[in-house]
Amino acid sequence: MATEQSATQQNAEESPLLLVSAGYINTEWPAPGLRRNVRHITGHNEDGKAVFLATDCGDHHTMIGNQQALANIIYSTKETPVDLGGDADLKYAKENIVRRILPTTGSLRTSFTNIILPLLQPPLHYHNGSVVRMIDFAPNVVSPMHRAVSLDYGIVVEGEFKLILDSGEEKVMRQGDVSVQRATAHQWHNITANGTAPGRMMWVLLDCKPVEIKGKKLEEYLGELTPYYQDR
């Protein structure tokens, strides 16, 4: 056990992307120090009156990395416009899950991918659909640089984050601040309480048409996040 812990710690320390030791988040939801959020879903009764259909904490929860981040899928849809008839969207969002095991050896074993993940939820974003994803970050975590070819609205729910672009430009975002990401490469750094406390963000990811810069089509890349979203 001591040897495994030492190896994990070494992986985290050697990664240029992650600034935190492994194992901070050890609960299903939420991360230690953050409140348990509640999701309310509405619908209609037989008379057409609005009613609450469910009150819970989201459809799926997934650990990311060495227990350094925890994703909560608030909702997902597979088409636009969304078909609400017969509550088809509710069933799809609830059952939208894929079984997969992440490799624990070989080239994919990095500080961000060396855990077993038997269940995977929606892809990073849906073509012609949407994903609402909330993520709890351990203190001082820095995500990999990545790009999703989508239109993303990012909202700081709790804490303080630094949004870093591949150009080197960066902005600090505080509670209630919003980013509008238009298929741009970026990474997130949780700087809550000078990097000593957890933080939480929420994203709404929407599909977009292909983006070209000087005739070159922008490609999606996820870096160390790839094993969490590939094959979906």
CA-CA distance, 165 to 147, in Å (whole number)?
A: 10
pLDDT, position 192: 98
% of residues, the chain, pLDDT over 70: 71
Instruction: State the pLDDT at residue 228.
Output: 64
List of the chain residues with pLDDT < 70: 1-23, 25-28, 96-125, 226-232
The per-residue pLDDT for 25 is 66
Specify the pLDDT at position 79.
87
Provide the pLDDT for residue 59. 75
Which residues neighbour 187 within 8 Å (Cβ) at sequence distance 6 or greater? Answer: 17, 142, 143, 144, 145, 146, 164
pLDDT number for residue 128: 80
Residue-level pLDDT at 13: 35
pTM of the model: 0.77
The gap from C-alpha 13 to its chain's centroid, in whole angstroms, comes to 22
**What pLDDT shows up at residue 230?**
59
- In terms of Cα–Cα distance, which of 114, 118, 134, 119 is closest to 198? 134
Domains for the chain: give ranges and CATH numbers. 2-222 (2.60.120.10)
Q: How many residues does the chain have?
A: 232
The model's pLDDT over 148-191, given as tens digits with 9 standing for 90+, comes to: 999 999 999 999 999 999 999 999 999 999 999 999 999 999 99
Q: Is there a cis peptide before residue 81, judged by omega within 30 degrees of 0?
A: yes
